[in-house]
Amino acid sequence: MKFFVRVAAIIVRDQQVLVHRSEQQGISYCALPGGHLEVGETTEQCLVREFGEEFGVAVQVERLVYVAEGMFMAGRKKPKPKHEIVFYYRAHLQDPMVVVRSREEPTIYADWLALDSDLAELYPQWLRPLLPSDYRHNWRACPRQIIADELIEPPYTSVRQLYSGDGNSKSSSLAGGDDNS
């Protein structure tokens, strides 16, 4: 099983979230942009570096909203089990009017998905209900800890609010990607 640490940004502009769009085995999918954390680099430094490398744009990192641990199958030709930890930060583009283009075209494209539309192509799946809801509620329930194990049947997702106003944490579960919170 391959293990890695990743950092991703949640950048919202005009009710749309910035994503990287790609295609694997004829299936289109989207993920929040970011990249792998390098040794000796903070998670915030990683985001700044990745956006410079992938898009040629500067970002301002705001705050941590999700810490997610995921276990899943990935790979184009021979899928293998993966285990990742991802730090998701709210961020914004330093130039809010900049045109964002992926430097990895034609393999990966920058795209904007409307938060009030069907996010069926967005991965990981647990983001689909949480992202629009947390955005609408101004991230009040954040930061959250998410544990998503897609290697078991049925897949299991746990969502835990790390800090609440009363000093307690709150938990809920998503079974098979459905939001029960």
Domains of the chain: 2-148 (3.90.79.10)
Spatial contact of 122 and 30, defined as CB atoms under 8 Å apart: yes
Q: What number is the average pLDDT over the span 125-135?
A: 95
Q: Which residue has the tokens 């919170």?
A: 181
Which pLDDT score is estimated for 75?
75
Which pLDDT score is estimated for 33?
97
For 47-76, what is each residue's pLDDT tens digit?
999 999 999 999 999 999 999 999 998 877
State yes or no: pLDDT of 32 exceeds 90.
yes
State yes or no: pLDDT of 169 exceeds 60.
no
Which pLDDT score is estimated for 114?
95
| C-beta neighbour count of 29 within 10 angstroms | 14
- For the chain, the C-alpha Rg in angstroms (whole number) is 16
Which pLDDT score is estimated for 171?
55
Number of residues assigned to the chain:
181
Q: pTM of the entire structure?
A: 0.87
Q: How far apart are CA 173 and CA 181, in angstroms?
A: 7
Residues 6+ apart with CB under 8 A from 42: none
| Better-predicted residue by pLDDT, 96 or 88 | 88
Q: What number is the average pLDDT over the span 95-103?
A: 93
State yes or no: pLDDT of 181 exceeds 50.
no
Nearest-CA neighbor of 135 among 168, 162, 113, 120? 113
Q: Indicate the pLDDT class of residue 77, thresholds 50, 70 and 90.
A: confident
User: Which token pair is 152?
Assistant: 């078991």
| Better-predicted residue by pLDDT, 150 or 23 | 150
Spatial contact of 181 and 172, defined as CB atoms under 8 Å apart: yes
